[in-house]
Structure 1
């Protein structure tokens, strides 16, 4: 039987919560008094994360978001356990890719399947619940790379995140003036498990994971439609990137 017992601040479901920005946001929202529904492929990592969190209710589920039927089942089960879902953060993603035409099709296909097609499944599952509740807040973790096409190994990643941003905007148009809110978050460079093994010493404007998670949580709580994280300098750089000719864009990406 479902239970209606949940935090006064609400219940947040986060996908890809076992590491990186997902785990960071889980820690941050736990501090802020939210109950959490956390899912990822690695249940052992989720268990380790749960052991860090105190003072809030945390439910876990192993989930590979490319198993689309499992996405619907997991989201419904979380709702049954808590009685409702207030926010769903579509966070699960991968950053692998290869230059087009250099033998990396499998990596590029996987990037699109995880970051875009699986995100669609998560959006469908979340919106099914929110429409039934007539309330909810759906959050998509896109990227500043979505603003323009990127070259080399970033091409498929930027494509997936651009598609995600358009998916969010389409939903936002449909939900305008309705009690279901849609937020698109556009992070810049944030240290995470995805950046491990990379030399980030020359990465411009990169911030540490804890600060990134705090700013992302602030952005979610703001309920704003579209937020760059951090706002400075990415809101300015994003506007500039939209206007740069390709010759200049190549130099800065």
Structure 2
């Protein structure tokens, strides 16, 4: 996504745990797009106070932030009641509580600016309760989808010019699932990223990506019998 946004001419504020990757990414992007600005900072989103510090530091760097993409997450969870509570707890905390902290930090900035675009990356797994290793993961992604919708409702009630988008990606083959079996309708990182960026750029309140087949499968998952839904997970 960073490469795609750079191609669109955006300055970039990027943060993640592995700063060596960020440093290399910055160098590579600036080699190709020397007219944009790229700043990076290390951030572990389980350090909630650091989220506010890093976001505010980026505001100081650029004089403001136009968009925040809440994308950090983990895909590991286990069947409930099988003695793996610590794994499920970590998944819930990173995917929901850390996302909540990022939304808080972003919205604090946007409210002060009276402008901005909050993007929350949820998942097609948020459509229904799912079995096995998807249970806690899907629940956490459903949680952040509702969180984003609640923030969007606030913006409507307060009539503030702040856009809130919820993106529901289908299966994208990345490091998070590189060792998993082939997944239904999965796409490459390149195709998935392009679909996500296009959805973000559209400013849509919510989007299923890639649009086909997920704009059809996603709404259907909400109403199909659970036995059928579990076959897509």
* Range into which the TM-score falls when normalised by the shorter chain: over 0.9
- Distance in 2, matches of 1:196 and 1:222, equals 29
Choose between structure 1 and 2: higher helix proportion: 2
Alignment-derived partner of residue 3 in structure 2? 27
Cα distance, 1:172 vs structure 2: 0.5
Cα distance, 1:178 vs structure 2: 2.1
Of the candidates 151, 155, 173, which is equivalent to residue 191 of structure 1? 173
- Distance in 2, matches of 1:36 and 1:250, equals 39
Cα distance, 1:248 vs structure 2: 2.5
Alignment-derived partner of residue 27 in structure 2? 51
Corresponding position: 1:122 with 2:98: no
User: Once structures 1 and 2 are overlaid, which stretch shifts more, 42-51 or 57-66?
Assistant: 42-51
SS at match of 1:197: coil
Of the candidates 190, 214, 221, which is equivalent to residue 201 of structure 2? 221
Structure 1, unaligned runs of 5 or more: 1-24
4+ runs deviating over 3 angstroms = none
Alignment-derived partner of residue 105 in structure 1? 85
Corresponding position: 1:39 with 2:21: no
- Distance in 2, matches of 1:248 and 1:197, equals 25
Alignment-derived partner of residue 111 in structure 2? 131
Structure 2, unaligned runs of 5 or more: none
- Distance in 2, matches of 1:169 and 1:194, equals 26
> TM-score scaled by structure 2?
0.95
- Distance in 2, matches of 1:77 and 1:148, equals 38
Corresponding position: 1:151 with 2:131: yes
Alignment-derived partner of residue 162 in structure 2? 180
Cα distance, 1:32 vs structure 2: 1.1
- Distance in 2, matches of 1:89 and 1:42, equals 18
The aligned length equals 227
Cα distance, 1:246 vs structure 2: 2.2
Alpha-carbon contact 2:184-2:232 (below 8 Å) kept: no
- Distance in 2, matches of 1:210 and 1:252, equals 22
Let me know the Cα RMSD of the aligned residues: 1.0
User: Once structures 1 and 2 are overlaid, which stretch shifts more, 238-247 or 109-118?
Assistant: 238-247
User: Once structures 1 and 2 are overlaid, which stretch shifts more, 208-217 or 71-80?
Assistant: 208-217
- Distance in 2, matches of 1:238 and 1:215, equals 15
> TM-score scaled by structure 1?
0.88
